[in-house]
Amino acid sequence: MFSYTIRRVGLLIPVLLGMTFIVFMMIRAIPGNPAQLILGQQASKDAIETLTKQLGLDQPWYTQFVHYLGGLFQGDLGMSLKTRSPISDEIWPYLAATIELSLVAILIAVIIGVNAGIISAWFQNSWFDYAVMLIALIGVSMPIFWLGLMEQYFVSIKWDLLPTTGRDNIRMPVEAITHLYLIDTLMEGRFDQFIEVVKHLILPGIALGTIPMAIIARMTRSSMLEVMRSDYIRTARAKGLKMFWVVYKHSLKNAMIPVITVIGLQTGLLLGGAILTETIFGWPGIGTYIYDAIQSRDYPVIQSGILVVATLFVLINLFVDILYAAIDPRIKY
Amino acid sequence: MTDDGEISVVNSIDFQVNSGEVLGIVGESGCGKSVTSLSVMGLVPSPAGKVEGDILFNGENLVSASEKRMRQIRGNEIAMIFQEPMTSLNPVFTIGSQLIEALQIHKKWPKKKAQAHAVDMLKMVGLPRAEELMKEFPHQLSGGMRQRVMIAMAMICAPKLLIADEPTTALDVTIQAQILELMKKLNEETDTAIMMITHDLGVVAEMCQRVVVMYAGKVVEEADVKTIFTSPKHPYTVGLIQSVPDMRDKKERLYSIPGNVPKPGSVKAGCQFAPRCAHAFDRCISETPALESLGGSQRVRCWLYEDEKGVNIVDRTIS
């Protein structure tokens, strides 16, 4: 298990390098001179040439790549063209907002999705099973922006239960320490703010979590149905175990392996920035950050933003792989 | 019906297992052996319908017993081992945790005590390095070792009845012999009765005191093991015995009963075996015979013995 983890972490290095290279080349493949874009149409040739040199864009691409890579190793993600400040400084608040929302969304999705899937499989062909599968089908095919708007219309506006947009109450803004507001408010001992932050998380969390929830429920159900037909489940029942333990202990641990893959992939997708949800709920997340950078052709931000998101995705998959080995003793490397 | 641990599976299946006895249930694939055993456990897969009639265990009817009562019986008073040792153990739990489960549920033993007993059980079924095995996972064990673990698991609460559903079919011949020997030993040392479900007459001759022959969901013959081999009565039993390869015979082809077991649900009137029976006559097709005693412990479901009870239809005897 330990050596497996080490080896799996070691494999990250080529993956991350390759990923960085691809992102780097993709940005370079976009036509047009960034210096020209920064300075505008009316800029003089000399000014453009000077800036091109300053940005190192006159160097061959491999020199630029090594330079960029060298910067990454020192935690330097480059400089935003728009704000002229280091990306490594300004990206974290956005990232933290996305991480917080994604974790809440995936938590909702896992708790409800997994349990709905289990109970559906346990009582296969019951009304509960049919209801869950119907809701899951609707959930999978529901456009997120529409769900978000409906939530806002009914829950926020009509019934006035929860706030519509933002991360906190503007009348008592959270003082950021880690930028994960749930943690910040607790660290500051501001429970009133904590409640506000939770309230702000519920609607976007549900909007973002619906599709993963539906996918997880369906995956759990089919995986459980397969496991529950197996010989060792009959053995467990022949021992006189209660059906609850047969399902939640003997079946679930086996059935979780494919489900965890799906949960990992979905979490990665959420972290990639849910631009629709973020836009509707005024959520200052990484999706918004990259989207704004694309609008203003802020290439370094696009490049580093994509890199950070991709790295998170890879890290989650690493975590999932390690989890496999923890659950299934047959996995050996 | 009470103290001798008598079990009776009634309806079209009717037999009993006495305490401490090894009963063989023989028949071709698909004749209802496994369903019979699962219905004793109350584990018949639900879409297949429910069990009708009575299954008496120590005088208690298991068919009408509540699910809660059945859970108390399963694994505690009636235990079961299955045909496929490779897939019958849960791959993600240790041998130890799977072994002690029954003790924790039924005897409410603390973990330490249960583990100590589990180690003893592993030693009893002849597994080396019992302490280490407790921490290992099923995939680290061979098929024979897994079946020993299954037996230890089934026997851990000292059940009154052990149902063994083709316990050796999936194993190598040498391992088969070891497992049978182990079960025989356990039967002699404890007072656990064994219901041995098999299609292998060799296993029956080796293990059982009494034999029930099943065909198409019905008991067609029942007798003690010696009688079955020396004077089988039902043409199906005779056919089964003739199908056993005999090394002394230098026949070109092995004997097999012509035709197939009818599919469940396609049951017609008359004797189910009639279409495959060389001795069938008019009555066999129209009327269903009853399981009649031929004197002694032998019972047979066949019209041939209506009047002339005790006459052997074959000249083959096995010495």
SS3 assignment for A273-297? CCHHHHHHCCCCCHHHHHHHHHHCC
Mutate to test the interface with A, among B62, B68, B80, B90 (most CBs of A within 10 A): B90
> Average pLDDT, stretch B149-153?
93
Question: Minimal Cα–Cα distance from A114 to chain B, Å?
Answer: 19
At residue B152, what is the residue type?
Answer: A
Pick from B82, B91, B101: CB nearest A239: B101
Higher per-residue pLDDT: B311 or A150 = A150
Query: Does A223 touch chain B if contact means CB atoms closer than 8 Å?
Result: no
Query: Does B173 touch chain A if contact means CB atoms closer than 8 Å?
Result: no
Q: What is the pLDDT of residue B3?
A: 36
Higher per-residue pLDDT: B112 or B310 = B112
Q: Has the ipTM of the complex gone over 0.95?
A: no
Q: What is the pLDDT of residue A45?
A: 85
Query: Does B80 touch chain A if contact means CB atoms closer than 8 Å?
Result: yes
Higher per-residue pLDDT: B231 or B316 = B231
Query: Does B101 touch chain A if contact means CB atoms closer than 8 Å?
Result: yes
At residue A262, what is the residue type?
Answer: V
Query: Does A325 touch chain B if contact means CB atoms closer than 8 Å?
Result: no
A207, A281 contact by CB (below 8 A): yes
Between the alpha carbon of residue B169 and those of residues A132, B30, B40, the distances in Å are 41, 15, 21
Question: DSSP class of residue A79?
Answer: B
Residues from chain A contacting residue B82 (CB–CB below 8 Å): 231, 234-235
Q: Quote the Cα angle for B248-B22-B304, to 5°.
A: 65
Q: What is the pLDDT of residue B5?
A: 41
Put simply, the answer to whether A239 touches B139 (Cβ < 8 Å) is no
Name the nearest CA neighbour of A313 among A286, A333, A291. Answer: A286
Q: In sequence order, what are the residues at sequence separation of 6 or more whose Cβ sits closer than 8 angstroms to the Cβ of residue B164?
A: B80, B81, B183, B194, B195, B196, B197
Position B37 confidence tier, pLDDT thresholds 50, 70, 90: confident
Higher per-residue pLDDT: A120 or B203 = A120
Query: Does A253 touch chain B if contact means CB atoms closer than 8 Å?
Result: yes
- Whether B115 has a pLDDT exceeding 90, the answer reads yes
Residues from chain B contacting residue A330 (CB–CB below 8 Å): 91, 137, 139
> What DSSP letter does each residue of A220-257 carry, written as one string?
HHHHHHHHHTSHHHHHHHHTT--HHHIIIIIIHHHHHH
Q: What kind of fold does domain A88-327 have according to CATH? A: MetI-like fold (1.10.3720)
Q: Quote the Cα angle for A51-A54-A59, to 5°.
A: 105
- Whether A16 has a pLDDT exceeding 80, the answer reads yes
- Whether B239 has a pLDDT exceeding 70, the answer reads yes
Query: Does A82 touch chain B if contact means CB atoms closer than 8 Å?
Result: no
Question: Minimal Cα–Cα distance from B196 to chain A, Å?
Answer: 16
> Average pLDDT, stretch B272-293?
84
A98, A286 contact by CB (below 8 A): yes
- Whether A114 has a pLDDT exceeding 90, the answer reads yes
Q: What are the domain boundaries of chain B?
A: 7-208, 232-305
Q: What is the pLDDT of residue A49?
A: 87
| Alpha helix (H) residue ranges in chain A | 2-10, 12-29, 34-39, 45-54, 61-73, 87-122, 127-141, 144-151, 181-187, 191-228, 231-238, 243-245, 252-271, 275-280, 286-295, 299-327
- Whether A299 has a pLDDT exceeding 50, the answer reads yes
- Whether A272 has a pLDDT exceeding 80, the answer reads no
Closest residue in A to B99 (Cα) is A239
First-residue to last-residue Cα distance in chain B: 35
| Strands B22-26 and B55-57, bridge-based pairing | unpaired
B85, B147 contact by CB (below 8 A): yes
Question: Minimal Cα–Cα distance from A231 to chain B, Å?
Answer: 5
Which two three-digit tokens encode residue A203?
A: 């609607």
What is the maximal distance between C-alpha atoms in chain B? Answer: 67
Q: What is the pLDDT of residue A300?
A: 87
Query: Does B169 touch chain A if contact means CB atoms closer than 8 Å?
Result: no
- The residue whose two tokens read 């849960």 is B90
Report helix angle A87-122 to A286-295, nearest 10: 130
Report helix angle A12-29 to A61-73, nearest 10: 130
Put simply, the answer to whether A235 touches B89 (Cβ < 8 Å) is yes
A103-112, A190-199, A245-254, B5-14: which range is least confident on average? Answer: B5-14
Question: Minimal Cα–Cα distance from B94 to chain A, Å?
Answer: 9
Closest residue in B to A251 (Cα) is B90
Query: Does A7 touch chain B if contact means CB atoms closer than 8 Å?
Result: no
Question: Minimal Cα–Cα distance from B312 to chain A, Å?
Answer: 42
Query: pLDDT tens digits, residue range A171-226?
Result: 888 887 888 888 888 888 888 889 889 999 999 999 999 999 999 999 999 999 99
- The rounded percent of chain A whose pLDDT value lies above 90 is 44
- Whether A4 has a pLDDT exceeding 70, the answer reads yes
- The rounded percent of chain B whose pLDDT value lies above 70 is 86
Question: Minimal Cα–Cα distance from A235 to chain B, Å?
Answer: 6
Q: What is the pLDDT of residue B49?
A: 55
3-state DSSP helix/strand/coil % of chain B, to nearest 5: 35, 15, 50
A30-34, A261-265, B64-68, B233-237: which range is least confident on average? Answer: A30-34
Question: Minimal Cα–Cα distance from B157 to chain A, Å?
Answer: 10
Long-range Cβ contacts of A7-14 (<8 Å, 24+ apart): A7/A333, A8/A318, A8/A321, A8/A322, A9/A318, A12/A314, A12/A315, A12/A318
- Whether B251 has a pLDDT exceeding 70, the answer reads no
Query: How far apart, in whole angstroms, are the C-alpha atoms of residue A48 and residue A33?
Result: 9
Q: What is the pLDDT of residue A107?
A: 96
Task: Please write down the HEC assignment for all residues of B85-134.
Answer: CCCCCCCCCCHHHHHHHHHHHHHCCCHHHHHHHHHHHHHHCCCCCHHHHH
| Strands B16-17 and B60-61, bridge-based pairing | unpaired
What is the overall mean pLDDT for chain B? 82
Residues from chain B contacting residue A250 (CB–CB below 8 Å): 90, 93
Position B307 confidence tier, pLDDT thresholds 50, 70, 90: low
Query: How far apart, in whole angstroms, are the C-alpha atoms of residue A286 and residue A275?
Result: 8
Position B314 confidence tier, pLDDT thresholds 50, 70, 90: very low
Query: How far apart, in whole angstroms, are the C-alpha atoms of residue B56 and residue B11?
Result: 12
- Whether A109 has a pLDDT exceeding 90, the answer reads yes
Q: What is the pLDDT of residue A274?
A: 78
Position B50 confidence tier, pLDDT thresholds 50, 70, 90: low
Higher per-residue pLDDT: B160 or A57 = B160
Between the alpha carbon of residue B307 and those of residues A185, B259, B294, the distances in Å are 94, 28, 10
Put simply, the answer to whether B43 touches A237 (Cβ < 8 Å) is yes
Number of A/B CB contacts below 8 angstroms equals 70
Q: What are the domain boundaries of chain A?
A: 88-327
Question: Minimal Cα–Cα distance from B197 to chain A, Å?
Answer: 16
Query: Does B133 touch chain A if contact means CB atoms closer than 8 Å?
Result: no
Q: What is the pLDDT of residue B46?
A: 59
Higher per-residue pLDDT: A78 or B10 = A78
Query: Does A328 touch chain B if contact means CB atoms closer than 8 Å?
Result: yes
Name the nearest CA neighbour of B78 among B2, B17, B10. Answer: B17
The most confident of the ranges A57-71, A97-111, B46-60 is A97-111
Q: What is the pLDDT of residue B281?
A: 84
Query: pLDDT tens digits, residue range A115-152?
Result: 999 999 999 999 999 999 999 999 989 888 899 999 99
Q: What is the pLDDT of residue B318?
A: 35
Question: What's the gap between Cα A43 and its chain centre?
Answer: 40
Query: Does A230 touch chain B if contact means CB atoms closer than 8 Å?
Result: yes
Looking at 1.20.58.220, 1.10.150.120, 3.40.50.300, 1.10.260.40, the CATH number of the domain B7-208 comes to: 3.40.50.300
> 3-state DSSP call for residue B214?
strand
- The rounded percent of chain B whose pLDDT value lies above 90 is 27
At residue A210, what is the residue type?
Answer: T
What is the overall mean pLDDT for chain A? 89
Q: What is the pLDDT of residue A170?
A: 78
Report helix angle B143-155 to B95-102, nearest 10: 20
Pick from B82, B93, B137: CB nearest A231: B82
Residues from chain A contacting residue B153 (CB–CB below 8 Å): 235, 239
Residues from chain A contacting residue B137 (CB–CB below 8 Å): 329-330
Position A333 confidence tier, pLDDT thresholds 50, 70, 90: low
